[in-house]
Structure 1
Amino acid sequence: MLIESSLDEVKRRESALKIIRSKVGSNGREAIYDLTGHAGGFPLLKEDMVLLETYAGPAVFGDEIQRLGREHLGGDKILALNRTSSGILAAVLALVHDGDEIVHYLPRSPAHPSIPRSAELVGATYLEFEDINDFELGEKTALVFITGSTMDHQVVDEANFRKVVDIAAQWKVPVFVDDASGARIRTAVYKQPRAMDMGADLAVTSTDKLMDGPRGGLMAGKADILDLVKSKALQFGLEAQPPLVAGMVRALENFSPERIVEAFHKKVEVYNALKEDVPSIMETPTGFMLKPEGFKAEVNAACVETCLSDEDLAFVFAMLLLDRHSIITIPAVGMPGASATVRIDLASKDASRIENPELIHAFKETLTELKAIACDEEVCRAVVHPHQATQKQD
């Protein structure tokens, strides 16, 4: 296998960042296409710069993040965090104790790794359900999670969402919605209500996913429970610092769901063109994706024997797509534990700069190259870890 540990994932990410740095250094930011849907940004105003201080920043931007955050997510109060994962950890630290149980309902496993990892950190049992008929709570359940949209953009059914909330209410257990991208996909594309409007006690979203804000977490909640989470966040330094908060404020001011809706319609042409030659390709709400098992199916269909795992094939493809065509996807740059699915998100800001025929050609050509090298583990290793191959030659 090419990727066997979190350390391998870190090294793969470092290799991808070196490729990006080289391309941007040679030809500027326009040389790359970030189609992850996570590009984010810092849409700050000139007058914001003098306020990015430890105390002046929170004082000036605090009221605005509360107002705009409540408009976006609902709830009584808002908490800005340095990452969505930070909010998940803060909530678990505040509400769950050693020996308790965390129960998670999501449209499709696996969950974002921050949830089971946080459970393990406090000594709690973690249970995951993707079939609503199997979902159940117990005497030790201290917190219920719902994922609004998975890492691969599988969106929760609204009726099942409401059923989980009702069950949790019967047990008097708080509900926390991991709505990282779901806060926008669910509402803009599927016209679902905001999580807080459907009875959640807490909800968190990523301010860089399908919106042009910095990588950070924005949490909404009922006042009493959010205060508990905020206390833990401040104790452990999980809160967003002034530059992040300012960036979130400006991103929320600029946010418009129209780009997401446009991507929902645009993806049809690209998906249909790819489906003819890549049967394993799948639609997402705002684009298309090829899962690890899909790569293996495509390689097998070409009668190519490979010892690589499904995930390895996805990592090789993502690195080739970046190196050859300057297209960034999560399996190339994602953090350890991120999905290995190659997902092209046409709601990404850079999607407007790449024409559909160019994108289709890049995807097909990269898949052809993957099939040509999948039988050679060392060649594939050099694609994922090019710096290691250089060191061996030296």
Structure 2
Amino acid sequence: MFSQAPSSPSQPVDRFGNPIDASVGYARGDIIRSSVQEAMRLRQGQRLATARVLAKGPESIAVFTGNQRDFPIRPDDLAGLCEEWVGPGIIANELNAVAIEHMGGRSGDQVAVFNRTSAGIIATIAGLSDGRPVVSFVPRGGRSHASVIRGCGICGSKLIEIDNLQDLHSAVGKSETALVVITTVTSSLESLDAHDIERAVEVAQRSGAIAFLDDAYGARIRPVLHGGRKGLEFGADLSITNCDKAGLSGPRAGVLVGRPAAVTRAQAKGAEFGMEARAPIVVGALRSLQRYSPGMLLEEARAGKELSEALAAKLGPRVARSDLGPVVDENDVLAMLLERSGAPSTSVVPAEAAAALGMVLLRDHGILTTNTHGQPGARVSLRFKPTLDALPRMGGVPAVVDAVLESLATLAPSIGDADEVAELILGASQ
């Protein structure tokens, strides 16, 4: 028996019987009990990365989170455009033009930049829901981003999560919905097809609700990798994307584009919460959009496909193949570790097993993943989305695959020892 605690008959459980925390979509354990321990895990990942850089240099770290996290401002931007009072006004027209084009918007649309895409989503929900229900439409097998769940919690709106059009019609029609959040591509890269996006927008607007696309990945994956439309070309009222993933180089920021009245309300709520992007981030977002090339995303996708094929050749069907790289479900991570250890059971839950494996990958091989550096509530599956220089830094695809196999072998003997796993995830001062 692997479960941490008994679950109620109606509560979903993971493959090992552990009750799933609905707010994050995975089981909590005795090590990672809440967002507090997730923050501690992030600090431990930062300590391991720092130690490796000090010992071996910055080239010893390869980023596989899919987030490039550059800061592409120019030297001459610092003197004027990054100045807080005047700079944002000077670049406003330039930013509007490039952001609206990037998102497929209309000439009269408005743009707002937030310090994170999550911040933009929360601010939009808080600013536009009016305390009424929010419907979240997600791909089958996917789930809403944690920011959607937390945004509804902050403003006291009921969240209704739907993964099919038939239920979406019913939910929107019965709930006096203020806002429909349409997640076109999840963080695990499950995606909606064009028909579902188009119909979801129509259903939302026909009911009088605002159609809001969470297009963090989809803004580029859909048109570049699948020949589809840009987000606002579906007729949605609002769309938000992330400035440091899927072909955009950074900085970390969320760019919201859409109907002026709705953008203004979201922007105002973001300012109330301190979620707005300050001038240097806004300038960085502008430069990121200006330097964007579909070729960057195509190269990321090519590298991810090559890595997926090589890892699947070693680990078999447990490796799922996304548009940007391989994914191994956290339940499969724990199963592989138990198989290698020979242990009949463990008190460690799948999310903790994946976090521990991430720490070994980082400490021993310099592979940085969201399992060590993801924010609280982020997906806990083992995901490899190589940034542009990640594979060359590691020495190529075979070296990454070998690192995964070696890390599984390194961690397996400890998987039955919760104290040892806790120290690995949280550090000795836990």
* TM bracket, shorter-chain basis: over 0.9
Aligned-residue RMSD, C-alpha = 1.7
Deviations along 1:334-374, one digit per CA (max 9) or x if unpaired, are: 11111111211134443343311111111111122222221
What are the residue-to-residue correspondences of 1:96-115 with 2, within 5 Å? 96-98=129-131, 100-107=132-139, 108-115=141-148
CA 1:148–1:31 in structure 2 vs 1: closer, same or farther (change >3 Å)?
same
Partner of 2:124: 91
State which of 340, 356, 366 in structure 1 corresponds to 2:397: 356
Instruction: State the identity as a percent.
Output: 28
CA 1:298–1:205 in structure 2 vs 1: closer, same or farther (change >3 Å)?
same
Partner Cα separation in structure 1 for residue 41 and residue 94 of structure 2: 39
What are the residue-to-residue correspondences of 1:1-394 with 2, within 5 Å? 1-51=30-80, 52-75=82-105, 76-98=109-131, 100-107=132-139, 108-135=141-168, 136-137=171-172, 138-210=174-246, 211-279=248-316, 280-302=318-340, 303-305=342-344, 306-354=346-394, 355-388=396-429
Measured after TM superposition, the shift of residue 300 of structure 1 is 4.2
Partner Cα separation in structure 1 for residue 314 and residue 425 of structure 2: 25
Contact 1:260-1:347 within 8 A present in 2 as well: no
Q: Which amino acid aligns with 1:91?
A: T
Partner of 1:392: none
Q: Which amino acid aligns with 2:165?
A: I
Partner Cα separation in structure 2 for residue 353 and residue 188 of structure 1: 26
For 1:80, what is the secondary structure of its paired residue? Answer: strand
Q: Greater CA deviation, 127-136 or 63-72? A: 127-136
Q: Which amino acid aligns with 1:31?
A: S
For 1:92, what is the secondary structure of its paired residue? Answer: helix
Contact 1:278-1:298 within 8 A present in 2 as well: no
Deviations along 1:87-131, one digit per CA (max 9) or x if unpaired, are: 112212221123x10001111333111111111111111010123
Partner Cα separation in structure 2 for residue 226 and residue 267 of structure 1: 35
Contact 1:38-1:348 within 8 A present in 2 as well: no
Measured after TM superposition, the shift of residue 18 of structure 1 is 0.9
Runs of 4+ in 1 over 4 A off after TM superposition: none
Contact 1:68-1:249 within 8 A present in 2 as well: yes
Q: Which amino acid aligns with 2:421?
A: C
Q: TM-score, normalised by structure 2?
A: 0.86
Partner Cα separation in structure 2 for residue 287 and residue 383 of structure 1: 26
CA 1:126–1:359 in structure 2 vs 1: closer, same or farther (change >3 Å)?
same
For 2:310, what is the secondary structure of its paired residue? Answer: helix
Contact 2:134-2:181 within 8 A present in 1 as well: yes
Q: Which amino acid aligns with 1:256?
A: S
Partner Cα separation in structure 2 for residue 273 and residue 233 of structure 1: 43
Q: Which amino acid aligns with 2:198?
A: R
Q: Greater CA deviation, 336-345 or 361-370? A: 361-370
Contact 2:338-2:415 within 8 A present in 1 as well: no
Partner Cα separation in structure 2 for residue 352 and residue 336 of structure 1: 29
Partner Cα separation in structure 1 for residue 301 and residue 63 of structure 2: 18
Query: How many equivalent residue pairs?
Result: 388
Q: Which amino acid aligns with 1:204?
A: I
Partner Cα separation in structure 1 for residue 51 and residue 415 of structure 2: 26
Q: TM-score, normalised by structure 1?
A: 0.94
For 2:134, what is the secondary structure of its paired residue? Answer: strand
Measured after TM superposition, the shift of residue 247 of structure 1 is 0.8
Deviations along 1:309-339, one digit per CA (max 9) or x if unpaired, are: 1111101111111111111100101111111
CA 1:41–1:267 in structure 2 vs 1: closer, same or farther (change >3 Å)?
closer
For 1:261, what is the secondary structure of its paired residue? Answer: helix
Q: Greater CA deviation, 17-26 or 320-329? A: 17-26
* Structure 2 gaps, min length 5: 1-29
CA 1:57–1:195 in structure 2 vs 1: closer, same or farther (change >3 Å)?
same
